[in-house]
Amino acid sequence: MRNTCLASILLVCLLAAAALAASPQDQPTGAMLLEAARLYDGAAMHRNWVVLVSGDRIAAVGPASEVISTADVRVIDLGDVTLMPGLIEGHSHLLLHPYDETPWTDQVLNESLGLRTARAVVHARDTLLAGVTTVRDLGTEGAGYADVGLKEAIERGVIPGPRMIVTTRAIVATGSYNPKGAPELGLPKGAEVADGIDELIRVTRDQIGKGADWIKVYADYRWGPGRTARPTFTQRELERIVEVAASSGRSVVAHASTAEGMRRAVLAGVRTIEHGDQGTEEIFQLMVEHGVALCPTLAAGDAILRYGGWRKGIDPEPARIASKRASFAAALRAGVSICFGGDVGVYPHGDNVRELELMVEYGMDPADALHAATLGNARILAIDDRLGAIRPGLLADLIAVQGDPSRDISALRQVRYVMKGGQVYRNEES
């Protein structure tokens, strides 16, 4: 019964998505003037402002009386909604699907590249239609360089999807990463194994050559006694990766949940740290000093515990959640720049807002969470010269949501309109 329901819901969703996902040639050309009751520009909320879009760019923004438009401009009144920049997801895995559908290990070992890529095409569309117009995709987890092709397909207009910043395979130390299985088998891993200065230099350069926009490295992993998280790469190894990436104009992102893994990554010069569960006040202070942002991935931990049987709101809060709340609060107190990045893929693509809801539940102001999801992430990802705000000259990645997300972050679930690069992909008014 459940499967039948799911199947029929999926079919309806696919049909609806197909209808919503207009292809570029269906789009009218010429300038558009978007009107909405509220406009969030990435920094502040305004009333009765309008945006003039010309081609793929924002031409003007401001109070309706001040933005000059000509007679041939199409006026689109979006009504009682909040018009805002498209959301920027800082930590996605478009090549993964929720672990309660298929455990991670089975996805890596048993699902073909074709199947995984086909799923990713659907994930990309679901992500865009949920108002997420850019993702930093942090590793294909065994699906090779499929993220590079997916990104290209989106850029060429072959399929609808968000702008992608890709990291290809990610780098892990020998012996640390999964799947493990029997020691004799030598199973393929969910990331590229490399060790030592020379090999790490070669692999970093190889991933860059194959299309990585950022380099992702696992500074620690659950390979300690009793599968506890422990550091993997040495300080010098991490420094070389950052040096090689920087030489090509790229940044490094580190998976790290231990205090020591985080410390090494920060001192090596990475730009963001993912997870950060065991971060201490001292480490968070170090991150502030070095300008390193934290992607807390609250939603991933929450989802995995729920898959394990935790009934949120009914059962007592697991220790892992309590300690995550505490470390997130410590990061906020220290003033660490918080990235919106939930590890989506562990839970359904298109449900990205889950992370923002948990950020607020764990103590962040909704207005700060909204900023993190737009201009905050644009700055962290160094794309704020093109994206993340409603400003003349930036790319016209705009969404409209019902309600006021600066007061109620869940309003971001009520997406009514999605434009990416001046192309409309969702318009519930039409």
Closer residue to Zn ion in complex, CB, 345/422: 345
Provide the minimum distance between the beta carbon of 161 and Zn ion in the complex, in angstroms, as a whole number. Answer: 18
| Candidate ranges 228-236, 340-348, 366-374, 417-425; the one touching Zn ion (CB under 5 A) | 340-348
Distance, CA of 91 to CA of 349 (rounded, Å) = 12
Closest CB to Zn ion among residues 275, 426: 275
Question: Contact 108/67 with Cβ under 8 angstroms?
Answer: no
Cα distance between residue 141 and residue 135, in whole Å: 16
Binding mask 233-262 vs Zn ion (x if CB under 5 A, - otherwise)? Answer: ------------------------------
Minimal distance, residue 343 CB to Zn ion, in Å: 4
Residue 105 or residue 427: which is nearer to Zn ion going by CB?
Answer: 105
Cβ proximity to Zn ion, 300 vs 375, nearer residue: 300
Question: With respect to Zn ion, which residue has the nearer C-beta, 138 or 358?
Answer: 138
Judged by CB, which is closer to Zn ion: 343, or 384?
343
Q: Are 364 and 332 in contact (CB under 8 A)?
A: yes
Nearer to Zn ion, 192 or 343 (CB): 343
- Evaluate the CA torsion angle 337, 417, 384, 26 in order and state its sign: positive
Q: Which residue has the CB atom at the shortest distance from Zn ion?
A: 343
Angle, alpha carbons 257-262-266 (nearest 5°): 150
Query: Which range of residues in 117-125, 129-137, 264-272, 335-343 is near Zn ion by CB under 5 A?
Result: 335-343
Shortest distance, CB of residue 233 to Zn ion, whole angstroms? 17
Q: Which tokens in the block code for residue 167?
A: 């990291």
- HSE, CB side, 13 Å, CA atoms: give it for residue 318: 15
Burial of 2 (0-12, 13-18, 19+ CB in 10 A): exposed
Cβ-based neighbours of 227, under 8 Å, separated by 6 or more: none
Rounded-to-integer distance, Cα 175 and Cα 18, Å: 44
Min dist CB 416 to Zn ion, Å, is: 30
Closer to Zn ion by Cβ: residue 298 or 401 = 298
Residues 6+ apart with CB under 8 A from 298: 324, 328, 342, 355, 358, 359, 362
Selected range binding Zn ion among 32-40, 314-322, 336-344, 347-355, rule: CB under 5 A: 336-344
Q: Which is nearer to Zn ion, 54 or 102 (CB)?
A: 102
> Please, what is the minimum distance in Å from the beta carbon of residue 341 to Zn ion?
8
Q: Which stretch binds Zn ion (CB under 5 A): 131-139, 201-209, 242-250, 308-316?
A: 131-139
Q: How far is the CB of 119 from Zn ion (least distance, A)?
A: 16
- DSSP for 188-230? PPSSEE--HHHHHHHHHHHHHHTT-SSEEEESEES-SGGG--E
Least Cβ distance, residue 276 to Zn ion (angstroms): 13
C-alpha span between 334 and 325 (Å, rounded): 14
What is the Cα 4 distance to its own chain's centre? 31
From the CB of 93, what's the least distance to Zn ion, in Å? 6
Joined together, the tokens standing for residue 49 give 């402002």
Q: 138 or 372: whose CB is closer to Zn ion? A: 138
> In the bound complex, what is the minimum distance in angstroms from residue 308's beta carbon to Zn ion?
18
Q: Which is nearer to Zn ion, 343 or 351 (CB)?
A: 343
x/- binding map, residues 383-402, to Zn ion, per CB under 5 A? --------------------
How many helices (DSSP H) and strands (DSSP E) are in the chain?
13, 21
Sorted by sequence, the CB contacts under 8 Å of residue 62 that are 6+ apart come out as 49, 50
CA distances 9 to 2, 103, 344, Å, are 10, 22, 21
Q: Nearest to residue 216, comparing CAs of 329, 140, 154?
A: 140
Distance CA 350, CA 124 (A): 9
* Residues in Cβ contact with 122 at an 8 Å cutoff, skipping those fewer than 6 apart: 14, 349
Q: Which residue in the set 41, 343, 355, 397 belongs to the binding site for Zn ion (CB under 5 A)?
A: 343
Binding mask 134-153 for Zn ion (x = CB under 5 A): ----x---------------
By CB under 5 A, residue 213 contacts Zn ion = no
Decide: 248 and 210 in contact? Cβ < 8 Å.
no
Determine the interface stretch with Zn ion among 60-68, 173-181, 262-270, 339-347 (rule: CB under 5 A).
339-347
Stretch that binds Zn ion, among 132-140, 160-168, 379-387, 419-427 (CB under 5 A): 132-140
Tell me the closest approach of the beta carbon of residue 318 to Zn ion, in angstroms. Answer: 20
Least Å from the CB of residue 163 to Zn ion: 19
Question: How far apart are the C-alpha atoms of 120 and 94, rounded to whole Å?
Answer: 5
**By the criterion CB under 5 A, which residues form the site for Zn ion?**
138, 343
